[in-house]
Structure 1
């Protein structure tokens, strides 16, 4: 049976001080591969995956050589009915992102950016971490979101002013809606008059 290279999605975070925020998100799309039918070998610079789906009659195989080293001991793997999700701890604490996932710079068709989890390097501190909830990321996102709410609370005056400023515009908007309503009603009135006229003709 021919082997298929599964689609791989990836994203990353980086930190020079916090190992918990210095990792790679990796998702291998292998639907209907039960746990007992897969073999995953994760090392510092390589990952080998082999899995078989009996329902799809498909065998998946994947060999990856990472751009940098990871820490397999502190990496986490989560298996679902559709894929294998991993949170791979980068070994070196660095503020900079890895320029790519793989050691080889050549583009490969099966590897894609996971835009649901990706954030730009300079925006990652603002990104909520609830996008990987099964690994406890959701808890990390809560305080940050609460903090943002607190900031918003402090600026209530500004928000109110903007609402007041938008007030006349809002009224104008409602006037437009009323005019549109009038226009909608006009054809109906004309139609009724035509019906009446035709009815009058019929009576004659």
Structure 2
């Protein structure tokens, strides 16, 4: 049985810094659910991925980079939902790449990763992205809790309380007249 080859969705974001190579990176997320034995070939000029999926699908993509990547420094991680890359740009420069790919084409499978993207003029103020992040909830301690709200003041707002039967607190209903009854109620 032959599998149809699909191009996976690819998300990307970048940082640039002319002085610090650690801040001169491309974040690349290749969405391949349940990747089985992915074949990854990273060269300075391109990335080629070929993988089967647990869903009995075949994925393949080739990305020819706008400029060269430092292969030795770059790294990746395969998870159950995607393959995540931190690709280090070979040339240190302050300006962002205008696009990820060498050719100036609109590729339907390539999109901006807005979860990791920062504007070029705001990148120094942004905290570093944890490329292989632990996920979880953000730190909410800076929000200051509930503004000092004391929930004990809401102790008795009516309704059934502890040890009280809910039927005791409801008003009694009047008896209903049967439908079709000819008797008049006095």
TM-score between both structures, scaled by the size of structure 1: 0.63
The question of whether the paired residues in 1 share the 8 Å contact of 2:77 and 2:132 is answered with no
The question of whether the paired residues in 2 share the 8 Å contact of 1:117 and 1:131 is answered with no
Whose helix proportion is higher, 1 or 2?
A: 1
Root mean square deviation, CA, Å: 1.7
The question of whether the paired residues in 2 share the 8 Å contact of 1:12 and 1:97 is answered with yes
Question: What is the distance in 2 between the residues matched to 1:2 and 1:63?
Answer: 16
Q: Show the counterpart of 1:21.
A: 23
SS state at 2:115 partner: coil
Q: Show the counterpart of 1:126.
A: 125
Q: Show the counterpart of 1:5.
A: 7
Question: What is the distance in 1 between the residues matched to 2:62 and 2:129?
Answer: 29
1:106 aligns with 2:105: yes
The question of whether the paired residues in 2 share the 8 Å contact of 1:31 and 1:81 is answered with yes
CA shift for structure 1 position 128: 1.1
Instruction: List runs of 5+ in structure 2 lacking aligned partners.
Output: 135-141, 143-186
Q: Show the counterpart of 2:44.
A: 44
Question: What is the distance in 2 between the residues matched to 1:8 and 1:133?
Answer: 17
Map 1:45-194 to 2 at 5 A: 45-53=45-53, 55-134=54-133
Kindly provide the CA deviation profile for residues 80-135 of structure 1, in whole angstroms up to 9, marking residues without a partner as x: 11100000000000000000000010100000000000000000001111442549
SS state at 2:72 partner: helix
Q: Of the two structures, which has the highest relative contact order with CA contacts closer than 8 Å and spacing of 6 or more?
A: 2
Question: What is the distance in 2 between the residues matched to 1:24 and 1:7?
Answer: 16
Distance 1:58-1:133 versus aligned 2 partners, 3 A rule: closer
Q: Show the counterpart of 2:137.
A: none
The question of whether the paired residues in 2 share the 8 Å contact of 1:76 and 1:87 is answered with yes
